[in-house]
Amino acid sequence: MRRFSQRNSLVTLSDINITPLLDLAFVLLIIFVITTPLLEKGLPLKLAKGGSTDTKPDRKDIRTLEITARGEYFLEHRRVTLAGMEQDLVREFHSNPNLAVWIRADKSGNVESLMAAIDRCTRNGITKYSLRTEAEGPK
């Protein structure tokens, strides 16, 4: 058998074990990845009241679409079908790319009629639309 001498115990260890350091780095990374979305959602903010826009839209760029409680469509006070509304708005959008659609839907109507109108606008590239509401009265 070979015996160990005192000389072997005096040899210094020259390389550093970085495994615990990497473990710590990964644990911190996981903690930050998990807690960051929670911090973004959990802020108690008091937002400012809505104001008016700086520029008023030009009336020639606006088309008003009204949807009744029964799901009937009226474009500029003229009764149209969903397909007819789409054709009219697409034709006007090609001649005026600044076209904006104001959508006034009855609150007791179904949401499907409203979503169908928004879908037809979006599908044809008309992305400027506004859902019109009543102003809240004093409480």
Query: 125 in a domain, yes or no?
Result: yes
Is residue 124 located within the same domain as residue 71?
yes
100 and 72 share a domain? yes
pTM: 0.57
Q: Are residues 68 and 127 located together in one domain of the fold? A: yes
Q: Which residue has the higher pLDDT, 129 or 29?
A: 29
Question: What letter does residue 118 receive in the DSSP assignment?
Answer: H
Q: How many domains does the chain have?
A: 2
The model's pLDDT over 75-92, given as tens digits with 9 standing for 90+, comes to: 888 899 999 999 999 999
Tell me what pLDDT residue 72 has. Answer: 87
Give per-residue pLDDT as tens, 44-67: 444 445 555 556 777 888 888 888
pLDDT in tens, 96-129: 888 889 888 887 878 898 899 999 999 988 888 8
pLDDT of 24 > 90? The answer is yes
Answer yes or no: do 25 and 65 share one domain.
no
CATH code of the domain covering residue 89: 3.30.420.270
Contacts 24+ apart (CB under 8 A), 107-110: 108/69, 109/67, 109/68, 109/69, 109/70, 109/71, 110/71
Instruction: Examine residue 94 and state whether it is found in any structural domain, yes or no.
Output: yes
The answer to whether residues 70 and 31 belong to one domain is: no
Q: What residue numbers bound the domain in which 74 lies? A: 59-131
Q: Is residue 138 part of a domain?
A: no
